Amino acid sequence: MANLPDMTKHRGFPTGMPGTGVQFIIRRANPRGVTPIKALPRRARPGTKEHRIDAAFLHALWHYFGSEPFERGNLDAARLNLLFGREVVAADKDFDPLSYEAMLVINEKVARQSFPESFDDVFEV
């Protein structure tokens, strides 16, 4: 196997949404290259399964990192892309969307408006 880029593994971060097959983290760096972080349109409306998955991921981010900037590391790009540019934003000006070391931060004001349930102490699955 080729040498894979270094990637911070967020130990203790939930692996995914139980009962859905949706993952929140990846096990290893992508040997074909880093999946870019970019804002994707979110079509999930409140009350849908997709909205609950996005809310659960944001809940995990909030309760693991809080309001502090965090490294992308092994967080799943597909999940991040659905929140990026709104609830999760670049933490600094020199953001590299193709880096596992890219720093992100939760835009708490927007996140609380979009997913108020994500900030509860317990998220019911």
Q: Would residue 82 count as lying in a domain?
A: yes
Each residue's pLDDT tens digit, 23-61: 999 998 888 889 999 999 988 788 889 999 999 999 999
In 8-94, which ranges are E strands? 16-17, 22-23, 70-71, 88-90
Q: Would residue 2 count as lying in a domain?
A: no
Q: Would residue 111 count as lying in a domain?
A: yes
The domain containing residue 92 runs over which residues?
49-119
The sheet with strand 88-90 has its strands ordered as 70-71, 103-106, 88-90
Q: Would residue 100 count as lying in a domain?
A: yes
pLDDT at 1 over 60: no
- What pLDDT is attached to residue 5? 73
Local structure of 53: helix, strand or coil:
helix
Q: Would residue 74 count as lying in a domain?
A: yes
64: amino acid identity, one letter:
Y
The total domain count for the chain is 1
